[in-house]
Amino acid sequence: MMVDVKLETILSKVQKPGRYIGNEWNCCLKEHDQVSLRMVLAFPDLYEVGMSNQGVKILYDSVNKDQDLLMERVFAPAVDMEEQLRLAGYPLFALESGKPLRAFDLIGFSLQYELSYTNVINMLDLAGIPLYSDQRSRDYPLIIGGGPCCFNPEPLAPFFDLFLLGESEEALPRLLKAVITHNQRGLAKQNILIELSNLKGVYVPSFYSPEYYSGSFSGLQKLEKQAPGSVEKNYVADLDSAPYPTAPLVPYIQTAHDRAVIEIFRGCSRGCRFCQAGYIFKPVRRRSAAKIAETARDLIASTGYDELSLSSLSSSDYPAIDELIKKVDEALIGKGVRCSLPSLRLDSYSVNLAENLHQGRRSSLTFAPEAATERLRKVIGKRISEAQIYRTLNDAVTAGWNGFKLYFMIGLPTEEERDVEAIAELCRELRRHFKRQGRPGIRFSVSVANFVPKAHSPFQWESQLRMPALISRQQLLIERFKKMPWVEFSWHDVETSFLEAVFARGDRRLAPLLEKAWQLGCRFDGWSENFSYSRWQQAFKELSIDPENYANHKFSYDDPLPWEHLNCGVEKELLICEHRLAFNGQFEKDVRNN
């Protein structure tokens, strides 16, 4: 984009101006008057985070492929940039053309994380756009949302004109085309929304009104008779024919994941009971090895990256992955590219795979047992036995690794203190075990997250463990690990997890709260340097909302849930069944077989 004098002055006063000027390799520049519809993809977090998101790159490609459509990008301005923009009265602008957001027909927010919600509000405000849907006439851009948080977008509902549920690389261009048609017919905003609500995956929140009975959500009333009673998600039926960017944007400034990415399959068949992703991305679909190899070749040729990540939720679950790696290797031979395979399952097979990929390199290997006792793993649906953990790490150590990164969660349903203690115990036992085997000095990096109950997972009815209890369990681990200097221990902030739980199962009464928190200065709540819990506490107090009623609330099966009208394709009966099995400590049969 071209930088005018005013913007240049602004940029000279901020850190990392490279975040705001676009012009990346493979960036798509189109004239605004040469297309019928202009959209901005808005990512409510920093450039470095947004540009590491594969969804951004996929949508950018799938929309811009269409001659008649244009998609530009905007990311949340960092705190220093916001200050300068406000000082100069300069409206938030899109990276490609530098045009203010208001000059677009549609703004689509990518909703990946609950703690970016205040950034959404802030970006609307910086763009000079009224926050609430009912305050915006047709002259303003349509404000739409997509991404995993749309499976319970209720806390954001009044700010948005519509949400697009599920995978959008095929559905979004379809939606945009429909907007063009209805615009040309000169329909009023309300009528455009009615028409759009007939499209699969479109959820227009203003067509539904929530009801509350003695302080609890008691159901949703449909206000617009043409709107569907239940909104069904979109998903891509065949990954091989779905659009995938072979010439993705290559940023100039370093981003979180700065490499070429090819998604080898989507969805996950493991069905861990705390995991929302496992349920909302069903069914499991895979890209063929031939297609992956072909895409890998194109990706490297167009980007010049030296690393290729074969990504998915659980990469070792790709059938015949050895074959796949062989094919990809062949396609990239002599190009100096190394492959990486994230999200490995805890088994010997995976160690083998990692070994093939990392020939010779011996850094650390990452696994996620999530819970340290077999009992608790059964509850949460992680199918790994103690013996399997030992066998896997044994294999890895034999193959030459001497460090492991292990992910756990605390605050899980039925968890007791001894389950938490077992995390430290497991590390100690493993270390001892390897010492006996003549391999002393094995190191661990242990990361412990706090359980957050998520909508559409079997644990959606569960409550989050209360904050003081979570803190004392963290404290217990801190104490234990103090005596184990060979463990690098890290943990998640409890207050952040608490807010995440509030919004993950929140309802529309939280919308004014978000606005209030934003007014009080909340931004980038997912970043510890910006997060201020006291501001949130003040917001809750001023609006007389008790956040514990959300985070620590246990729903019963009969309770209406604020997100139940949004259908991710998994029957409630299945979730109930899984939830019941959890407490019997049984596994469901692998959903792959269904």
Partner 1 sequence: MRLLQRALRRSGLPLAYSQGYNPRLRLVLALPLPLGVTAGREFGELYLTEIVDLDYFVSSLSAQLPAGLRLVGASAVAAESPSLASLVVANRYRARLKLSEGKLVKPALIESAAIKLMAKEEILMPRSGKKKKHISCTNVRPYIFELQLNLDQGADPVLVMLLKAGSDGGVSPFFLLHKLAECEPDSGSETWQWLVERESLYMISNGALVPLAEGV
Q: Which of these ranges, 64-72, 199-207, 358-366, 544-552, lies near partner 1 under the rule CB under 8 A?
A: 358-366
- Footprint (CB under 6 A) of ligand SF4, residues 544-563: none
**Cis-peptide into 283, omega within 30 deg:** yes
Confirm or reject binding of residue 449 to ligand SF4 (CB under 6 A).
no
The stretches of 65-187 forming alpha helices (DSSP H) are 79-88, 117-126, 171-184
Q: Which does 313 bind (CB under 5 to 8 A by kind): partner 1, ligand SF4, none?
A: ligand SF4
- Per the structure block, which two tokens stand in for 132? 């609430």
User: What's the N-to-C CA distance of the chain in angstroms?
Assistant: 50
Confirm or reject binding of residue 249 to partner 1 (CB under 8 A).
no
- Give me the residues paired with residue 566 across strands: 231
Q: How many residues bind partner 1 (CB under 8 A)?
A: 19
Confirm or reject binding of residue 359 to partner 1 (CB under 8 A).
yes
CA–CA separation, 400 and 396 (whole Å): 6
Q: Which of these ranges, 298-306, 323-331, 400-408, 540-548, lies near partner 1 under the rule CB under 8 A?
A: 298-306
Position among 65, 185, 222, 361 found at the interface with partner 1 (CB under 8 A): 361
Position among 272, 308, 351, 551 found at the interface with ligand SF4 (CB under 6 A): 272
Q: How many residues bind ligand SF4 (CB under 6 A)?
A: 9
- Least gap, CB of 442 to ligand SF4 (angstroms): 25
Q: Give the residue with the Cβ less far from partner 1, 26 or 538.
A: 26
Q: Give the residue with the Cβ less far from ligand SF4, 277 or 581.
A: 277
Q: Give the residue with the Cβ less far from ligand SF4, 285 or 431.
A: 285
Position among 164, 176, 268, 397 found at the interface with ligand SF4 (CB under 6 A): 268
Confirm or reject binding of residue 5 to partner 1 (CB under 8 A).
no
CA–CA separation, 527 and 254 (whole Å): 18
* Polymer length of the chain: 594
Q: Which does 209 bind (CB under 5 to 8 A by kind): partner 1, ligand SF4, none?
A: none
Q: Give the residue with the Cβ less far from ligand SF4, 73 or 377.
A: 377
- Least gap, CB of 110 to ligand SF4 (angstroms): 20
CA–CA separation, 392 and 349 (whole Å): 8
Q: Give the residue with the Cβ less far from partner 1, 57 or 565.
A: 57
Confirm or reject binding of residue 270 to ligand SF4 (CB under 6 A).
yes
CA–CA separation, 165 and 227 (whole Å): 15
Confirm or reject binding of residue 9 to partner 1 (CB under 8 A).
no
Q: Which of these ranges, 109-117, 268-276, 396-404, 482-490, lies near ligand SF4 under the rule CB under 6 A?
A: 268-276
3-class SS at 464?
A: coil
Nearest residue to 92 (alpha-carbon basis) of 71, 74, 78: 74
Percent of residues in the chain assigned helix, strand, coil, to nearest 5? 40, 15, 40
3-class SS at 202?
A: strand
Q: Which does 407 bind (CB under 5 to 8 A by kind): partner 1, ligand SF4, none?
A: none
Q: Which does 302 bind (CB under 5 to 8 A by kind): ligand SF4, partner 1, none?
A: partner 1
Sequence-distant (≥ 6) Cβ neighbours of residue 525 within 8 angstroms: 115, 116, 117, 118, 496, 499, 531, 536
* Interstrand relation of 338-340 and 307-311 (parallel, antiparallel or unpaired): parallel
Which contacts (CB < 8 Å, 24+ apart) does range 345-348 have?
Answer: 345/314, 345/316, 345/317, 346/384, 346/388, 346/389, 346/392, 347/316, 347/384, 347/388, 347/391, 347/392, 348/391, 348/392, 348/395
Position among 89, 186, 215, 360 found at the interface with partner 1 (CB under 8 A): 360
- Footprint (CB under 8 A) of partner 1, residues 299-318: 300-306
Q: Which does 278 bind (CB under 5 to 8 A by kind): ligand SF4, partner 1, none?
A: ligand SF4
CB atoms closer than 10 angstroms to residue 178: 16
Q: Give the residue with the Cβ less far from partner 1, 301 or 320.
A: 301
CB atoms closer than 10 angstroms to residue 81: 24
What does each C-alpha distance from 24 to 37, 73, 96, 207, 253 come to in angstroms? 23, 12, 9, 40, 9
Q: Look at phi and psi of residue 36 and say left if phi exceeds 0, alpha if psi is from -120 to 50, else beta.
A: alpha
Q: Which does 270 bind (CB under 5 to 8 A by kind): ligand SF4, partner 1, none?
A: ligand SF4
Confirm or reject binding of residue 277 to ligand SF4 (CB under 6 A).
yes
Q: Where are the beta strands (DSSP E) in 226-312?
A: 231-232, 260-263, 265-266, 285-286, 307-311
Sequence-distant (≥ 6) Cβ neighbours of residue 407 within 8 angstroms: 366, 367, 368, 369, 370, 447, 448, 449
Q: Which does 334 bind (CB under 5 to 8 A by kind): ligand SF4, partner 1, none?
A: partner 1
- Least gap, CB of 555 to ligand SF4 (angstroms): 21
Q: Give the residue with the Cβ less far from ligand SF4, 130 or 342.
A: 342
Q: Give the residue with the Cβ less far from ligand SF4, 173 or 278.
A: 278
Per-residue binding letters, 19-38, with partner 1 (x by CB under 8 A) = ----x-x-------------
Confirm or reject binding of residue 278 to ligand SF4 (CB under 6 A).
yes
Q: Which does 222 bind (CB under 5 to 8 A by kind): ligand SF4, partner 1, none?
A: none
Q: Cβ distance 162 to 193 under 8 Å?
A: yes
- Least gap, CB of 380 to ligand SF4 (angstroms): 9
- Footprint (CB under 6 A) of ligand SF4, residues 298-337: 313-314
- Footprint (CB under 8 A) of partner 1, residues 317-336: 334-336
Confirm or reject binding of residue 13 to partner 1 (CB under 8 A).
no
Q: Give the residue with the Cβ less far from ligand SF4, 193 or 272.
A: 272
Give 33's DSSP letter.
Answer: G
- Summarize as ranges the residues that interact with partner 1 (CB under 8 A): 23, 25, 250, 252, 300-306, 334-336, 338, 358-361
- Summarize as ranges the residues that interact with ligand SF4 (CB under 6 A): 268, 270-272, 275, 277-278, 313-314
